[in-house]
Amino acid sequence: MRLFNQKETSDLRKASEKEAQKPGHSLEIFDFSGENAITVKDVDLYYGTFQALKKINMEMPKYKITAMIGPSGCGKSTLLKSLNRMNDLVEGCRVEGEITIGNVNVYEKGIDLSALRKNVGMVFQKPNPFPMSVYDNIAYGPRTFGIKKKGVLDEIVERSLKQAAMWEELKDRLNKSALGLSGGQQQRLCIARALAVGPQILLMDEPTSALDPISTGKIEDLCEELKNDVTIVMVTHNMQQAARISDKTAFFLLGEMIEMGDTEQIFSAPVHPETERYITGRFG
C-alpha cells in the first residue's frame, strides 16, 4: 500500500513550513510509556526511482542500545535518517510505510518536525559543533525553544555537560570556541548539545568513525551511561563496537534487514548465513 507518494511528501514539507509560522505550541506530542521507543513497519524508501530500503520491520526497545550494522550502501544510515526525517532534505526521497515513535506516526500529515527532532536527537558522523563558544553550543537548543533566563540556561549547560561526562574537562573553557576542541571532545560536545533539549531518543550515525581509539572508548562508555535516560540507535561500521555496547543488533544488506535480535545471539548464533558471513569478515 502506498501511503505517501512523492507529491504528498512535498505537501508534507509545505505543511511543516506552515506549522512553523504558528509558534508557541508545546513540543511534547509523544507518549513514551510503551515498551518500544520506535516501531518500524513495512517501510520502503526510494531516492527517485532507486529503492534504498525494502519492507523494513523492526522494533527498538526503550532505554536500550540498538546497533545497525552492514556493509556500505546497505541502507542503515538511510533508515536512521528517516527516523527523525532528516531524509526530507534529500530531493526525491520518498517514504512508504509507518514509523511510529512514542505512539505517533512521524510521517503523518502535519507532524511538527521541531517537536520530532527535539525528542529524537542526532549525532553525526563528523563532529559538527557550531562556530560558537562551548556554552553557546549547549545553550543553542534551549534558546531556540524559548529559554532566555540565564539561571535556567546555566543549569541546563552544567547538567548536559555532566551528563556527557565532560564537565570537568570543559568547565574552565566554557567561553572558548568549540572549534578549538579535539575531535573526540567535539563529538562529545555534540552529544551534550543534543542532550540539552531533553531528547528521549538519540540517533548516532557512525559517531566514532572519525575518531581515535581513546576518544572512541570514551564515547562508548558514555553511551552505556546514557542508556539509563535515553534510547540509543547507532549505525556503526565497526562490528566489535556493536558487539561491545549494543543490546540489540540489526544486520542490513542491500536495502533489506536480514536479521535482528539480541546482540549476543547475532554474534554467537546468527540465523542467516549472510549474517554469519558478514560478522566473520568474509565480505563487507
Partner 1 sequence: MENTVTQRKQREHIPADKVKNGIAKYIFIVCACMSIIAVVGIIGYILYGSIPAFRQVGFFKFVFGTTWYPDGKKFGILPMLVNSLIVTAFSVALGGTIGVFTAIFLVFWCPDKLHLKYKGQNKFLAKLVAWLNKLNLRTVFDQVIKLLAGIPSIVYGLVGLQLLVPILSYLDTTPPYQGEGILASSILLAIMVIPTITSLSKNALEAVPEQYFEGALAMGNTKAQAVFRVVVPAARSGIISALILGTGRAIGEAMAVIWVSGNRALFPTGLFSNIRTLTVNIVMEMGYAELTLHRPALIATGFVLLIFVFIITLSLNLVPKNFKGKRGTMTLNGDSTAAVTYVKKGLLAEILKVIAIVCAVLVLAILAVIIVYLTIMGLSNLTASFFGPSSADVPTLFPALGATLELIAITLVIALPIGIGAAIFLVEYAKPGSKFVKIVRTFIDTLAGVPSIVFGLFGMIFFSGVLGLSYSVMAGALTMVLVVLPTIIRSTEEALIAVPVSFREASYGLGASKVRTIFRIVLPSAFPGIATASILAIGRIIGESAALIFTMGALYTFTGNPLDSSCSLAVLLYSCANEGYHMSEAYALAFILILLTFVLNLIVYFIQRQVKKKR
The residues of the shown chain that bind partner 1, judged by CB under 8 A, are 17, 20-27, 84, 86, 89, 112-118, 121-122, 124, 126, 128-133, 135, 140-142, 144-147, 149-152, 154-159, 172-177, 179-180, 190, 193-194, 197-198
Nearer to partner 1, 21 or 72 (CB): 21
Q: Are 135 and 157 in contact (CB under 8 A)?
A: yes
Nearer to partner 1, 83 or 266 (CB): 83
Tell me how far, at minimum, the Cβ of 30 lies from partner 1, in Å.
13
Taking the alpha carbons of 263, 269, 273, 278 in that order, is the dihedral positive or negative?
Answer: positive
DSSP 214-261: HHHHHHHHHHHHHTTTSEEEEE-S-HHHHHHH-SEEEEEETTEEEEEE
Nearer to partner 1, 112 or 276 (CB): 112
Nearer to partner 1, 145 or 262 (CB): 145
- The Cα-based distances of 167 to 36, 40, 222 in angstroms read 31, 36, 13
Tell me how far, at minimum, the Cβ of 40 lies from partner 1, in Å.
19
Question: Which residue matches cell numbers 502535519?
Answer: 110
Tell me how far, at minimum, the Cβ of 9 lies from partner 1, in Å.
16
Tell me how far, at minimum, the Cβ of 7 lies from partner 1, in Å.
12
Nearer to partner 1, 75 or 142 (CB): 142
Alpha-carbon distance 251 to 243, whole Å? 12
Q: Which of 282, 253, 262, 258 is nearest to 272 (CA)?
A: 258
Alpha-carbon distance 97 to 108, whole Å? 10
Alpha-carbon distance 108 to 3, whole Å? 10
Tell me how far, at minimum, the Cβ of 221 lies from partner 1, in Å.
23
Alpha-carbon distance 27 to 147, whole Å? 14
Question: Which residue matches cell numbers 546468527?
Answer: 270
What DSSP state is assigned to residue 135? H
Nearer to partner 1, 84 or 263 (CB): 84
Nearer to partner 1, 109 or 176 (CB): 176
Tell me how far, at minimum, the Cβ of 185 lies from partner 1, in Å.
14
Strands 36-47 and 50-61: antiparallel
Tell me how far, at minimum, the Cβ of 210 lies from partner 1, in Å.
12
Joined grid coordinates for residue 138: 549547549
